[in-house]
Amino acid sequence: MSGKSIREVQQSFAESLGFGKETIWDLLSNRQSEILEKKIRTLIPDPENYKQRAVFDRIRQTLFDAVWEQRKYTNGQSLTSIFYVLVATDETDEDDARNSTKWSCHPVFRARRCVSSRNGRSNNSVDCCMIYVDENGRVYQNWKSYLDNNELPEGIMVAPPRGVYKLTSKGRVILQSRETPAAGAIRKAVGVLDTASAVGGLGATAVPVIGMFCTVAAPIVLTASIVGGGCAVYSTLRAGAQLIDRSMHDQSINVTDRTARGQWLGVVGGVVGLGASRATSNAIKVTNAGKRVGTVAQWTVNGMNISSIAMSATGLTNGIIDLVLKHDDGDDISTLDVLQLSASLFLFTHSLYNFQLASSIIDDTSNKRIGSYRKTLSNRQRRMFDKMVKETTRIKGVRQANVDIIRNVNDIPSRQQFNDLYKINTKLKEHDIIPSFAAKGKGVLLNGQVITNAADLRANVQHNIGPDIIARVTNPKPDTFQGFGTSGNNAAFRSSRFLNPHEIAKNERRKRLCRIFELVQKARKVLPELFDKKSDDSIISEESYNTLLLLFDNFDDDIRQFALQLTATFLKRYRDGLHEKLQFYISSESVLYRIGTHILRKYPSFTVEKLERKEEKIMDAIYEYFISLNPNNYQGRLNRCDVCGYFYQICEL
């Protein structure tokens, strides 16, 4: 179609897809999903680049799911039609755009939603709301919503009004032209804000990086925090708005979706990062005011900063991978992608800086408290105090050791304890015992095992008063603190072996195929005329397997023969009429399955003689079931649409 104008292309579409002034639909039953899948594959064929095929498979699946979901408005059947929106990329005038030869083409599915009659028996939807599903799988509830919120490229869009191809009395296609949302002032302003925020965030990132290695002037740090914080807030709001927009247009907001995952990381990372930054600022204010940051507050601030580092690092990694994948897939990289990456980078570096800052505040607070207490000790007491501090730090790590040391210093203010320990230090060495500070201010901990106090320990060791405390110390000197590692149980779990699910599935498949073959042969012997050419082609299917399994596993030979014979009678009497009314093919095995399940549900204990007397009732029930597949066969009252004023109903799929 190269060189043709938009009007010429749309005229060609109208002649092949339209029918005068009628609103036409393609009807698919809920069992003909493969036809829709083939349509979508025709619209979006595999790319030449083999590496991109997985991406195209995902796009096709998203579009299929969105279109197939709209069956909820048409009694479980799919009632859709395709039209095309062409966007003129070299024109700004709506009238001139129709003659443009530079355009992009975008297929859109429209699905029936509302009908004009209150009882739903009319299929008239001329002035009613219709559902529109674009090539990205975005769902719009009416034509105005599509015009105002589509994601078409910047330019003038030209399409048949409401997505219905109609011809004038002279045979010319009726078209509608208007500016795409991307060309509007609001979208352009948002784009400018995205760019400015992304640049500001990248610039602000440099300051905390430098601050981790050298001192940065306070005004510069403050300015960078304001700019970067503004970028983070804006990016968080934009990511949240994008998630809301995706939800409103029935796009996935699950974290398994690549785009939604990036937006969720942007929202969560922004909230956690900004909260951690605020908590660190409060800790700085408390410290500068000469007050001690409590242990719970310390853990809270550090926990928030660690969470922020983890979330922003995840967002940063995800953003980089997304940009690489988009580049490889040939997708456009938007300013929003860069903005989210910039915000994640700022939050990551800022959180690292905050964590370093918060840690230094907490450590400084602890060290000052310990240092000021140490200065009050005599030389002898100080040597013993230092030994206990060193041992406590060795076996518990700096942070926990500081907590335990300060707690003991606060709870046991007497310096005499260090004199007592100094006096018996030689005896403790002989037994390879090293004292440290016990947790929660409970006194002295011997080899990480026995808790006591210095006075009782000295009385027992020097003067043999009281129980033998040293004899209770059976543990050797504790190992040095190593931080948090992987437990042996976890390692054992990782090395354990499980049955391969693929092998299980393969073996089950073999068994099922053998069972299907056996059942088909039995069915052919019972009633060979039931298996026409079409049934023969589809008999080796999931439904056919379940049908025959139901028939042969739940009925004896007489009832089995009755069900097969009744199926043949039903098809002979009703198949052509149902096909004409429903406009889709009814397979033999679907009728057989419905008859079998109906017998099990309504007449589970009947003999074949009793079933023969219910033959007409059974066929009437099965006929009513297939008639219920009619897209106009609504049950109960219909809802009035707030937009068009007509009527719709949503069924369970």
d(CA 459, CA 421): 11
Cα atoms in the Cβ-side hemisphere of radius 13 Å centred on 584: 19
Rg for the chain (alpha carbons), in Å? 38
Q: How many H-runs (helices) and E-runs (strands) does the chain carry?
A: 22, 12
Which of 158-167, 290-299, 353-362, 499-508 has the lowest average pLDDT? 499-508
Q: Which of 362, 363, 408, 366 is nearest to 385 (CA)?
A: 408
Per-residue pLDDT of 382-412, as tens digits, reads 888 888 888 888 887 765 676 677 667 665 5
* Cα 403 from chain centre: 41
As a residue count, the chain comes to 653
CB atoms within 10 A of CB 140: 22
Dihedral of CA atoms 49, 53, 54, 55 in degrees, nearest 10, equals: 80
CB atoms within 10 A of CB 312: 29
Give the contacts of 319 (CB within 8 A, at least 6 positions apart): 262, 265, 337, 340, 341, 344
d(CA 57, CA 65): 12
Which of 534-543, 555-564, 575-584 has the lowest average pLDDT? 534-543
Q: What's the whole-number mean pLDDT along residues 428-442?
A: 82
381 pLDDT above the threshold of 90:
no
Higher pLDDT, 255 or 577: 577
613 pLDDT above the threshold of 90:
yes
Per-residue pLDDT of 108-139, as tens digits, reads 999 999 988 877 666 677 889 999 999 988 99
d(CA 527, CA 561): 8
Q: Average pLDDT, whole number, for the chain? A: 74
State both tokens at 432: 């390879």
Q: In what order do the strands lie in the sheet with 450-452?
A: 435-437, 444-446, 450-452
Which of 460-474, 477-491, 629-643 has the lowest average pLDDT? 477-491
pLDDT at 282 (0 to 100):
61
User: Does residue 131 sit in helix, strand or coil?
Assistant: strand
pLDDT at 603 (0 to 100):
92
Q: What is the value of pTM for the model shown?
A: 0.54
607 pLDDT above the threshold of 70:
yes
pLDDT at 205 (0 to 100):
55
